[in-house]
Chain A
């Protein structure tokens, strides 16, 4: 007798041979420069249930450049496993030809050259075309949004997320979960949630005072004759990684036992399929589904990983759909007799020059942008360097931001958060105000200036490094390493907390950092209430205006080992 697990694996192998997962066939077609919308959307319908997953859009309404990470180090059991494989190794692992469209979409190699060949990705009007095409084939498809939707652009900041709410409502979302949404504060979140035509799920969002569930944990949908439970899991470390004073009423956490209870509860109600819509991050989800039984599909988010095939963990498939609207995942499932019997999956890359914009969505996006258009599109400067952020360590955008912070705030050292959002600019691109907001937008963007001792600097670097490189995923918060300017250090990622960071020095002089001495430090995105200073985007704008043209020298201030 074939076990369920064998069936799943057999099903995946078969789909790969047939090109059902999308990437095998597409590669050959693309090599012939024959990318068409039909090929990108091509999918042989399978089974009876379809899930559509988008996540971590970060309010990117328009097509963007987004360079995937050059550094994505895995530690502990995750070492060498997706998504901790980058560049050429990633291409080899998934059989992707160098120079192909999927090499461009999924890795950092030759980003500039391939970007010029294949163009920008994403755009919610293109995403709408993809979603409509899937729904035309499968009218009962469920569209699930993994969160980090309302935050990340100048228009989302100015409208307090309303532009994205309007766009996602038109897209026809069936349920969502959350992370940066909360940085608009409890009052605004509550106001939006009351207006949403779909549930805002979070099994792990609790009342902080009574430690009792505060939001709908799950929703049960009846689609195509099956009952599908979607359990939401919000970002577990909200009050630690983001300012808790903005949502003091709520407590989060992984709450694995709560997730098991919810799975048992919906199974007890006799659902046919259990889907977890998660903002835990890839490694946390991989661990959670190895310890919580009964989840058929986990749609993961937060860590911005795009993985071209489902990762099978026990009886669960894990789907990672990237970020910024670059990808839409379609997952077809054969659900019978209360069991998932097989799946077919495609990570659909949203090439904005290939997929036609949906006219209705394009009109809405234009209308959302119209009141702010002049502000958004004002050109502040030009870049001769590729500007990107994503990666475990400093990107070039971070170098520019740290330069701006040090220069405008007259500080020896700059610190900039290792968030995973922030879009890319190509050499030769103008830098508009909107581009600056795409890498800085937030509701706590004040650029502070303070003094810190050498000891404090080391403590901060060790603490953030442990949030990233702790071998137990449950102790990882899913951000990248803090970015620094004026400061150099060595990091051995294999060491425990307190022993990873060494060789701290001022890059201007090479002088070693003295634990007892004080240094002037400026930075932004402090989680402390009452932080004072100009907004970071104004600081960067002032700096770029003075430079006119941005040219960045290679940054060698961080020395990484132990990978």
Chain B
């Protein structure tokens, strides 16, 4: 027994994927009991745009994080309307992990998410609005600051504004100054808002 080199140099063309890889059989595989089979199916379904609806509904049920991750990657690659709507629906899920995974996936889709961002930031559910601000954190889009300003000027929910202020400390320019001062004046009784707006204002004026 010793250190040995790989005995065989076969380029492994046939791996675990036994099933014929057409879209229909992949959809069936998505329900397989074996998470490994579901992972491979979710990955290969990237070439089947019509499968986005099935992936979205599987995502809601899927308990295995490794399968969910692949489904989210595939949906991100697809980036079609069904995929994006599916991701938005995850934000309303009771499952915290799924919500946060969806937020991370949506950060990767600036072009697809930008058109619906105003809608998300105006959603009736304050939690969804907080998640929308979370998405802005890494969204490569020129309007991020103006969206955040509109949040702190208009959102009635304290915690939505608080989340936006955190990000403005990083991305805010002098355009954010007045809105931050207005927010600060609106919540004089809330120590956290006083702290957060002061911090953001300091970073903006120094910057």
Are A and B bound to each other?
no
Binding site for A on B (CB under 8 A): none
Binding site for B on A (CB under 8 A): none
